[in-house]
């Protein structure tokens, strides 16, 4: 296992060789509303989760053509273990099934799959299947697909801070790399964060990466979300002026 000093040196060397900024947008989505979608139709919650997988397929396929080259999906939070055991079992089964059925499609479409979050609490064999899928898709360059499983933004920041163990605060870029190195971050800032299902909160998702993200809350339930919703969200995003704490670049109107 790497020592803290070795990890710092590796991150510093990586940052020194980092290429030019990413081309394309990083969109993060809190995929909310599966259960409510099903309940409104008199269906078991599991039916909503199954339909949610179809929404994932639609959005992953559409994203690159809409100018998105990184997509991070919140699939299962660290707090979701508190849900009924049967629902958790269904969610893990659907994840395993997605990896097995969609891996070839992801590879063929140039998608690089990465999973962020803890893996030590996953059902037996699932972490190994994730690692296999990541390795198989590692050369994909069309879309970076990050799936957050057993993920907590607060825990990610706390673990990275503990891993630094230095007297001096790390540069922001280095800290972002540290989050990614530990498997609890994406390594780049989020441009647009979308939450479906009508709720308006971040729910402990990518708290570091979303520091300057534009936020969009959609009333559409996740199983109903598709390319047209993503296109509309991006159109809204492109109307916004992102200043990152600076002043507007637009010329001020002269006072009359």
Residues serving a catalytic function are 32, 80
Give the phi and the psi of residue 213 in degrees, each rounded to 5.
-70, 145
**Residue 105: beta bridge partners?**
none
Which tokens hold the place of 2?
Answer: 């790497």
Rounded (5°) CA angle 180-211-207? 55
User: Could you give the CA distance from residue 103 to residue 105 in angstroms, rounded to a whole number?
Assistant: 5
Half-sphere exposure of 83 (CA within 13 A, CB side): 17
Distance CA(61)–CA(31), nearest Å, equals 16
How do beta strands 192-195 and 143-151 pair? unpaired
Which of the 8 DSSP states describes residue 150? E
């Amino acid at each position: 296992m790497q020592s803290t000093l070795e990890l710092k040196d590796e991150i510093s060397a990586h940052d020194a060789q980092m290429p030019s900024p990413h081309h394309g947008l990083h969109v993060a989505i809190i995929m909310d509303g599966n259960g409510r979608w099903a309940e409104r139709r008199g269906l078991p919650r599991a039916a909503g989760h199954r339909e949610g997988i179809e929404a994932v397929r639609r959005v992953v396929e559409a994203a690159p053509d809409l100018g998105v080259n990184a997509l991070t999906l919140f699939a299962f939070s660290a707090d979701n273990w508190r849900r009924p055991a049967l629902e958790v079992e269904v969610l893990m089964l659907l994840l395993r099934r997605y990896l097995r059925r969609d891996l070839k499609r992801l590879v063929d479409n140039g998608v690089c799959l990465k999973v962020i979050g803890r893996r030590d609490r996953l059902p037996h064999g699932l972490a190994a299947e994730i690692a296999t899928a990541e390795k198989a898709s590692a050369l994909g360059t069309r879309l970076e697909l990050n799936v957050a499983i057993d993920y907590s933004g607060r825990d990610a920041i706390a673990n990275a801070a503990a891993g630094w163990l230095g007297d001096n605060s790390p540069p922001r870029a280095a800290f972002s790399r540290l989050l990614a190195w530990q498997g609890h971050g994406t390594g780049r800032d989020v441009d647009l964060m979308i939450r479906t299902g009508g709720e308006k909160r971040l729910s402990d998702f990518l708290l570091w990466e979303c520091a300057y993200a534009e936020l969009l809350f959609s009333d559409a339930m996740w199983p109903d979300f598709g390319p047209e919703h993503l296109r509309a969200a991006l159109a809204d995003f492109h109307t916004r002026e992102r200043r990152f704490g600076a002043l507007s670049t637009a010329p001020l109107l002269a006072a009359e």
